[in-house]
Amino acid sequence: MLFTTPTFAEEKAAEKTEQYDPKGPILEHIADSHYWHMFGEHSLPLPVILYTNKGIEVFSSHVFEHGKEEYQGNYKYALIKDKIKPVTEAGEIDTTVRVWDFSITRNVASMWMGMAILLIIFLSVKGKYKTRAGKAPKGLQSFMEPLVLFVRDEVAIPNIGHKYKKYMPLLLTMFFFILISNLLGLIPFFPGGFNLTGNIAVTIVLATITLITVNFSGNKNYWKHIFLPHIPVWLYPIMIPVEIIGIISKPFALMIRLFANITAGHIIVLSLISLIFIFNSLWMSPVSVLFVVFMDTIELLVAFLQAFIFTMLTALFIGMAVEEHHAEAH
């Protein structure tokens, strides 16, 4: 039997086919999932809750583990690009079955974790204020008080004015929820676990809350400025639609800003880590790690900055809606 030595071109072609593709791991990290990645190859399956034509169906995502591609329940389901779809016997998506997915996904689990952390922190601080009334803050209380005062003195009062107290619970909730979600996304022990504020659905909900709050808080001067602006009447057909678009575009900008900044940060960090595997060289490791540490430091700043910007702009929009009319301004 004769053995032929592969040519240089064939060796290069083989290396090219085996080249590491970072797109898969990066997209897997920033996307939602029915599994909560822990470490290495280990993942925690999460509950699947489906509402179909035959009612509610609940099972664990572990049924798709170990190469099992389909699960037989009320219907046959398959995990396609981390989305659970009803399929036919031939393995094609069954368009005749309507499925509403209410599963506890990775983002939902991380959101609950963030909420639990916030509850533990603030209930603990509340207890400290009761037991240490009139005394200087201590421990966790001394850490949280400056942040709360910062939101009050630097965000709420300058942008809303004397009516700020009414909106402080909303602003504090937004600030700390976004902050804790951003910080959880930086935990190195769960590299595939958290990208909550990098999920467009989450930022849409936050922006919608801002939209509803601003417009339900708007006084008559706010609505008069939109529908009866102080301009010549012949400009109304132009300016009124522009003002209405402005109502939507303000929270839309909040939504995109938070989503894009957090997602971009995660992609950059994972891309830098992927350089080690792309170049397939240990010499690249120190450079990659150095840049990752630098980017993580920047991401830590961005975590606080994005929470601040979202809260500040929300306060600014509320302040514009509740601002009193001053005749001397005209």
Query: pLDDT by residue (tens digit) across 222-244?
Result: 898 888 888 888 888 888 899 89
Q: Is the pLDDT of residue 185 over 60?
A: yes
Q: Is the pLDDT of residue 311 over 70?
A: yes
Reported confidence tier of residue 18, pLDDT bands at 50, 70, 90 = low
Letter string b/e over residues 112-136, b meaning 16 or more CB atoms within 10 A of that residue's CB: ebbeeebeeebeebeebeeeeeeee
Task: Tell me the percentage of the chain whose pLDDT exceeds 70.
Answer: 88
C-alpha angle with apex 64: 61 to 67, nearest 5 degrees? 150
Q: Is the pLDDT of residue 165 over 90?
A: yes
171 CB burial (10 A radius; 0-12, 13-18, 19+): buried
Least confident of 129-138, 177-186, 188-197, 241-250: 188-197
Structure tokens at 61: 């995502």
Q: What is the mean predicted confidence (pLDDT) over 235-255?
A: 90
Q: What is the mean predicted confidence (pLDDT) over 36-42?
A: 69
- The DSSP bridge partners found for residue 49 are 58
Q: Is 267:327 a contact under the CB 8 Å cutoff? A: no
What is the model's pLDDT at position 209?
96
Q: Is the pLDDT of residue 271 over 80?
A: yes
Q: Is the pLDDT of residue 199 over 80?
A: yes
Structure tokens at 168: 């402080």
Letter string b/e over residues 193-219, b meaning 16 or more CB atoms within 10 A of that residue's CB: bbbbbbbeebbbebbeebbebbeebbe
Predicted TM-score of the model (pTM): 0.84
What is the model's pLDDT at position 14?
46
What is the model's pLDDT at position 121?
92
Where in the chain are the domains?
Answer: 23-101, 150-329
Write the DSSP assignment of 213-279 as a string of letters. Answer: HHHHH--HHHHHHHHS-SS-GGGHHHHHHHHHHHHHHHHHHHHHHHHHHHHHHHHHHHHHHHHHHHH
Query: pLDDT by residue (tens digit) across 72-122?
Result: 888 888 888 778 888 888 778 888 888 898 999 888 888 998 899 999 999
Q: Is the pLDDT of residue 273 over 60?
A: yes
What is the model's pLDDT at position 55?
85
SS3 309: helix
Reported confidence tier of residue 284, pLDDT bands at 50, 70, 90 = confident
- Spatial separation of the C-alpha atoms in residues 269 and 265, rounded to whole Å: 6
Q: Which of 194, 187, 168, 164 is nearest to 263 (CA)?
A: 194
Sheet holding 100-101, edge to edge: 55-60, 47-52, 100-101
What is the model's pLDDT at position 325?
64
Q: Is the pLDDT of residue 214 over 60?
A: yes
Structure tokens at 116: 């639990």
Least confident of 97-106, 168-177, 302-311: 97-106
What is the model's pLDDT at position 327?
45
What is the model's pLDDT at position 205?
95
- Spatial separation of the C-alpha atoms in residues 99 and 88, rounded to whole Å: 14
What is the model's pLDDT at position 68?
63
Give, as one character, the DSSP assignment of residue 87. B
Write the DSSP assignment of 21-41 as a string of letters. Answer: -THHHHHHHHS--SEEEEETT
Residue 138 has a CB neighbour count (10 Å cut-off) of 10
82 CB burial (10 A radius; 0-12, 13-18, 19+): middle
What is the model's pLDDT at position 151?
95
Structure tokens at 62: 């572990």
- The DSSP bridge partners found for residue 99 are none
Q: Mean pLDDT score of the chain, rounded to an integer?
A: 83
What is the model's pLDDT at position 11?
46
Give how far the C-alpha of residue 221 lies from the chain's centroid of Cα atoms, to the nearest Å. Answer: 34
Least confident of 58-62, 316-320, 321-325: 321-325
Contacts 24+ apart (CB under 8 A), 280-285: 280/20
- The residue written with tokens 């809350």 in the block is 209
Q: Is the pLDDT of residue 10 over 60?
A: no
What is the model's pLDDT at position 297?
87
Backbone dihedral region for residue 161 (phi beyond 0: left; psi -120 to 50: alpha; all else: beta): left
Do strands 42-45 and 35-39 pair parallel, antiparallel, or not at all (unpaired)? antiparallel
What is the model's pLDDT at position 306?
94
Q: What is the mean predicted confidence (pLDDT) over 12-38?
A: 70
What is the model's pLDDT at position 21?
77
